[in-house]
């Protein structure tokens, strides 16, 4: 069966479309056409596949983004295939001759992708996706079919996407390509000059020249972390037997729970480790605390940990204390206050490079929400995969500065939660 997709690829993407490697990473400037090229690659791969029930995926940071960015392209370039089936609710198309299915996904809760299999996948704007989604969820989905994967995006600082790009450059099993606006010729010089006038130099280098060195717009801690790395304060941090170990928590309900471990040693903050998980009961985190090679002396909890559940009449604070943990409730504070307090102390902070890696990634990408309608940063942080680690970090900073004894039961907040 011959299928004419009526698509002429841009010359800049021909090396990608003709690649032989299983893995690929394409870093491209804005409006280069990377999404169109990758959607066409998915369609062509699905149309050629001769295996049983082929499955292909396109993963964006959110389901809404997948729909806004790629759905119209997927429908347009499969419209002339006789008998093609489209599902608006699932954002999926099914090809008639071999049953191949191409579906768009959002990675805001990547655990929902567990259990699926894939013959090929595009991971778009990989820098905005939780770095754990690839090794823990998407990569295993490719194993039994020996599927392929392509990462595409525009740089957003030295995050997980930067690591993938850097590793790909040194690995012959990867196809790797970086397309800068100054060399592709896809956007005319006059338009680029106008963009320069409208943007900061850092923004222009990031969006059009594919620079990973420009700080992501609206980040709270990225510059502080870069300074800490420059000053070798991200290194090996040993446990100090003469100082208490504190644990600061962000407690999720049906969401991730995050814990930072740290010590105050003189005027310095020594961050020893970070742990995060989702879908686990509090017992799991207590067991993790008890598995550590050193004791944890006090646990700093957010104010809502004292809220009692209607079903049990007990709070999470009650549970943790019942398991033998010594806990303090950190007073409610404004998010801005916590961020400012942390930034003021950041030049005195040391982080264990191995045990705090995930936490530092959260802090590096933690940023203000962007109002695309008015083209301004909002005054509140974006709530995404970075929030839990950043919230636990703020609780630790505020709580360590103002540690108080946990009040008696009758003095606790009277909020009730279901």
Query: What's the confidence (pLDDT) of residue 418?
Result: 33
Tell me: do 140 and 235 sit in the same domain. no
**pLDDT level of residue 409 (50, 70, 90 thresholds):** very low
Entry pTM = 0.70
Q: Over the stretch 212-244, which tens digit does the pLDDT of each residue have?
A: 876 667 889 988 998 999 999 999 999 999 999
The answer to whether residues 338 and 397 touch, using CB atoms and an 8 Å cutoff, is yes
Query: Which of 356, 324, 127, 137 minimizes the C-alpha distance to 258?
Result: 356
The per-type count for the chain, helices as H runs and strands as E runs, is 16, 19
DSSP tag of 372:
T
- Residue at 340 is within a domain: yes
Query: What's the confidence (pLDDT) of residue 212?
Result: 86
Q: Provide the domain limits for residue 190.
A: 11-209
**pLDDT level of residue 404 (50, 70, 90 thresholds):** very low
Tell me: do 22 and 156 sit in the same domain. yes
- Residue at 1 is within a domain: no
For 354, residues 6+ apart whose C-beta sits below 8 A from its C-beta are: 236
| Averaged pLDDT, 282-306 | 95
Residue with tokens 């809404």: 64
Count of structural domains, the chain: 2
d(CA 357, CA 241): 23
- CA distances 185 to 10, 190, 281, Å, are 11, 12, 54
The answer to whether residues 176 and 164 touch, using CB atoms and an 8 Å cutoff, is no
Q: Is the pLDDT of residue 49 over 70?
A: yes
How big is the chain, counted in residues?
418
**pLDDT level of residue 415 (50, 70, 90 thresholds):** very low
Residue 218, Cβ density class (10 Å: 0-12 exposed, 13-18 middle, ≥19 buried): middle
Tell me: do 382 and 235 sit in the same domain. yes
Tell me: do 172 and 292 sit in the same domain. no
d(CA 3, CA 79): 11
Tell me: do 403 and 279 sit in the same domain. yes
Tell me: do 244 and 300 sit in the same domain. yes
**Of 50-64, 116-130, 321-335, 360-374, which gets the smallest average pLDDT?**
360-374
Tell me: do 61 and 198 sit in the same domain. yes
- Residue at 130 is within a domain: yes
Tell me: do 18 and 162 sit in the same domain. yes
Q: Over the stretch 245-283, which tens digit does the pLDDT of each residue have?
A: 999 999 976 678 999 999 999 999 999 999 999 888 899
- Residue at 365 is within a domain: yes
- Distance from the first to the final alpha carbon of the chain: 57
């Amino acid at each position: 069966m011959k299928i004419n997709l009526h698509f002429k690829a841009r010359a800049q993407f021909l090396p990608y479309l003709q690649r032989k490697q299983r893995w690929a990473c394409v870093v491209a400037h804005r409006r280069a056409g990377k999404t169109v090229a990758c959607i066409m690659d998915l369609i062509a791969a699905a149309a050629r596949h001769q295996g049983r029930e082929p499955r292909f995926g396109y993963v964006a940071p959110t389901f809404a983004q997948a729909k806004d960015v790629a759905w119209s392209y997927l429908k347009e370039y499969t419209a002339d295939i006789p008998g093609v089936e489209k599902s608006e609710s699932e954002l999926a198309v099914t090809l008639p001759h071999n049953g191949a299915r191409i579906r768009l996904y959002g990675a805001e809760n990547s655990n929902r992708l567990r259990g699926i299999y894939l013959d090929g996948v595009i991971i778009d704007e990989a820098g905005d996706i939780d770095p754990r989604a690839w090794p823990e969820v998407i990569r295993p989905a490719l194993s039994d079919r020996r599927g392929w994967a392509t990462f595409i995006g525009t740089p957003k600082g030295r995050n997980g996407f930067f690591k993938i790009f850097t590793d790909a450059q040194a690995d012959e099993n990867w196809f790797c390509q970086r397309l800068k606006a100054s060399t592709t010729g896809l956007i005319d010089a006059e338009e680029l000059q106008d963009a320069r006038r409208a943007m900061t130099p850092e923004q222009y280098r990031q969006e059009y020249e594919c620079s990973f060195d420009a700080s992501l717009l609206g980040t709270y801690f990225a510059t502080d972390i870069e300074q800490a790395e420059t000053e070798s304060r991200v290194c090996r941090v040993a446990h100090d037997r003469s100082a208490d170990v504190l644990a600061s928590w962000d407690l999720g309900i049906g969401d991730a729970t995050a814990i930072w471990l740290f010590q105050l040693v003189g005027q310095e903050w020594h961050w020893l480790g970070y742990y995060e998980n989702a879908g686990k009961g509090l017992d799991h985190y207590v067991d993790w605390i008890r598995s550590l090679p050193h004791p944890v002396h006090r646990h700093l909890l957010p104010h809502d940990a004292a809220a009692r559940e209607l079903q049990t009449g007990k709070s999470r604070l009650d549970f943790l204390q019942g398991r033998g943990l010594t806990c303090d409730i950190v007073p409610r504070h404004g998010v801005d206050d916590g961020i400012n307090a942390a930034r003021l102390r950041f030049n005195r902070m040391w982080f264990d490079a191995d045990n705090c890696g995930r936490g530092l990634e959260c802090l590096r990408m933690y940023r203000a929400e962007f109002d695309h309608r008015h083209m301004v940063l909002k005054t509140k942080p974006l709530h995404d995969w970075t929030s839990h680690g950043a919230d636990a970090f703020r609780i630790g900073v505020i709580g360590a500065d103002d540690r108080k004894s946990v009040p008696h039961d009758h003095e606790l907040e009277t909020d009730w939660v279901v």
